[in-house]
């Protein structure tokens, strides 16, 4: 099978399209023929060699242990291992592989009880590869204990995590203020944001308003810059470690002092996560925002684009041949 392989950390130039052995499903596993996947901020970080020691120990200290990246996938069941009862051949499925990655390939094995589910009706493959961003977003929203009537500000609401966070926050009944660049104002309003702030035109930290929750969905601001936005019991979270790991350190200090001002929750994968996202998709409360589509052979260009930090929503890699024309990525 064809797969995108990297044997050393570096730029997208180190990626290679190779023929590798097609995996075989073991007991209680399914083999997925991948139709669509994504290139995410996580993939780019892993390609470069994530600076966090605990990540490097897992992914490979000096060179990658897992040579194929890619977390999100959507495709069809190609084969099933012994004992599998939840899926049948040809069934359309979607999910993510946060432990082993591997979706940047034509085939991927997944545990039957893993983060995989039947695709919601009415969704195409490239519309279903939204799990990673939505997974991160909902991890933070659940940690906030977000509920109806609460107010949340989402900074960087136009990325994969941000677009999902806006939609999921609205599904919880929250009042959403989205902070984005000028070109994304209409987008976040269409996703349900009650208010959109153009950070290129005004300093969002100086608005005369406070919030129950502030989420930095792109890792480009800090607690110290945003703390004036927090109400008496307001909580700040960010999807990045922050300068000098400050978000982790501040979260630990908040726990020790029980101030609960900064939280840095770690997402946990399970089948229940995908079932929850599927339910939100079926209720039309969550959908993907596709920025660009690339064929698998052009995946290095997709990485280069994601590394510009200018993408909107998700960048899709179309793996299997379809009749749908590719987006002109130029």
User: What share of the chain in percent tops pLDDT 70?
Assistant: 96
Q: Based on the domain organization, do 146 and 253 belong to the same domain? A: yes
Which of these three, 263, 280, 302, is where a domain ends?
A: 263
Task: Calculate helix-pair angle for 160-171, 131-144, nearest 10 degrees.
Answer: 50
Q: Based on the domain organization, do 60 and 89 belong to the same domain? A: yes
Q: Which of 3, 117, 136 is nearest to 69 (CA)?
A: 3
Instruction: Provide the sign of the torsion angle of the four alpha carbons 96, 162, 164, 191, taken in this order.
Output: negative
Is 86 a member of any domain?
A: yes
299-329 per-residue burial string, b: 16 or more CB within 10 A, e: under 16? bbbbbebbbeeebbbbbbbbbeeeeeeebee
Q: Based on the domain organization, do 124 and 11 belong to the same domain? A: yes
Q: Based on the domain organization, do 240 and 188 belong to the same domain? A: yes
- What is the pLDDT, as a whole number, of residue 146? 94
Q: Based on the domain organization, do 213 and 296 belong to the same domain? A: no
Is 72 a member of any domain?
A: yes
Phi, psi (5° rounding) for residue 235? -125, 135
Range of the structural domain that residue 196 is part of: 132-263
Structural domain total, the chain: 2
pLDDT bin (cut points 50, 70, 90) of residue 330 is very low
Is 56 a member of any domain?
A: yes
Could you tell me the CATH number of the domain that includes residue 215?
Answer: 3.40.50.720
- Over the stretch 270-305, which tens digit does the pLDDT of each residue have? 889 999 999 999 999 999 999 999 999 999 999 999
Q: Which of 23-37, 45-59, 63-77, 226-240 has the lowest mean pLDDT?
A: 45-59
Mean pLDDT score of the chain? 93
Q: Which residues partner with 177 through β-bridges? A: 153, 195
Q: Which two tokens stand for residue 259?
A: 């101030």
- The pTM assigned to this predicted structure is 0.92
Residue 324 has pLDDT above 60, yes or no: no
Q: What are the strands, taking DSSP E only, across the chain?
A: 2-5, 16-19, 29-39, 72-80, 92-96, 107-111, 116-118, 151-155, 175-180, 195-198, 211-216, 230-238, 262-263, 290-295, 314-318
Calculate mean pLDDT across residues 135-162: 96
Is 113 a member of any domain?
A: yes
Is 275 a member of any domain?
A: no
Q: Based on the domain organization, do 193 and 233 belong to the same domain? A: yes
Calculate mean pLDDT across residues 219-241: 94
Residue 268 has pLDDT above 60, yes or no: yes
Q: Based on the domain organization, do 21 and 88 belong to the same domain? A: yes
Q: Based on the domain organization, do 146 and 256 belong to the same domain? A: yes
Is 162 a member of any domain?
A: yes
Q: Based on the domain organization, do 126 and 192 belong to the same domain? A: no
In a 13 Å sphere around the CA of 14, the CA atoms on its Cβ side amount to 16
156-191 per-residue burial string, b: 16 or more CB within 10 A, e: under 16? bbbbbbbbbbbbbbbbbebbbbbbbeeebbebbeeb
pLDDT bin (cut points 50, 70, 90) of residue 322 is low
Q: Based on the domain organization, do 240 and 144 belong to the same domain? A: yes
Is 213 a member of any domain?
A: yes
Is 91 a member of any domain?
A: yes
Q: Based on the domain organization, do 56 and 146 belong to the same domain? A: no
Contact 44, 10 (CB under 8 A): no
Could you tell me the CATH number of the domain that includes residue 293?
Answer: 3.90.180.10
Q: Which of 94-103, 165-174, 279-288, 319-328 has the lowest mean pLDDT?
A: 319-328
Q: Which residues partner with 17 through β-bridges? A: 4
d(CA 178, CA 30): 39
Calculate mean pLDDT across residues 164-185: 98
Q: Which of 13-17, 111-115, 298-302, 321-325 has the lowest mean pLDDT?
A: 321-325
Q: Based on the domain organization, do 213 and 119 belong to the same domain? A: no
CA distances from 1 to 21, 29, 179 (A): 6, 18, 43
């Amino acid at each position: 099978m064809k797969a995108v392989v990297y044997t050393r950390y570096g730029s997208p130039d180190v990626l290679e399209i190779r023929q590798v052995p097609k995996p075989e499903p073991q007991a209680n596993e399914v083999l997925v023929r991948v139709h669509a996947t994504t290139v995410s901020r996580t993939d780019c970080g892993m390609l470069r060699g994530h600076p966090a020691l605990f990540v490097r120990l897992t992914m490979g200290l000096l060179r990658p242990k897992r040579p194929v990246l890619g977390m999100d996938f959507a495709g069809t069941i190609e084969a099933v291992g012994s004992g599998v009862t939840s899926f049948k051949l040809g069934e359309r499925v979607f999910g993510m592989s946060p432990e082993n990655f591997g979706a940047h390939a034509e085939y991927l094995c997944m545990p039957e009880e893993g983060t995989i589910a039947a695709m919601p009706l009415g969704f195409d493959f490239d519309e279903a590869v939204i799990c990673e961003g939505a997974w991160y977003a909902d991890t933070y929203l659940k940690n906030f204990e977000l509920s109806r009537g609460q107010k949340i500000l989402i900074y960087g609401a136009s990325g994969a995590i941000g677009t999902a966070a806006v939609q999921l926050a609205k599904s919880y009944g929250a009042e959403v203020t989205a902070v984005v660049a000028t070109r994304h104002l209409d987008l976040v309003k269409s996703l349900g944001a009650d208010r959109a702030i153009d950070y290129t035109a005004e300093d969002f930290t100086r608005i005369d308003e406070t919030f129950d929750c502030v989420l930095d969905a792109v890792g480009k601001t800090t607690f110290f810059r945003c703390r004036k936005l927090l109400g008496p019991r307001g909580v700040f979270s960010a999807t990045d470690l922050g300068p000098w790991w400050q978000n982790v350190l501040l979260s630990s200090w908040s726990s020790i002092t029980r101030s609960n001002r900064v939280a840095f929750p770690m997402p946990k994968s399970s089948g229940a996560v995908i079932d929850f996202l599927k339910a939100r998709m079926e209720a039309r409360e969550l959908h993907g925002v596709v920025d660009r589509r690339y064929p698998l052979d052009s995946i290095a260009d997709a990485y280069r684009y994601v590394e510009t930090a200018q993408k909107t929503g998700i960048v899709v890699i179309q793996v299997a041949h379809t009749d749908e024309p590719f987006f002109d990525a130029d």
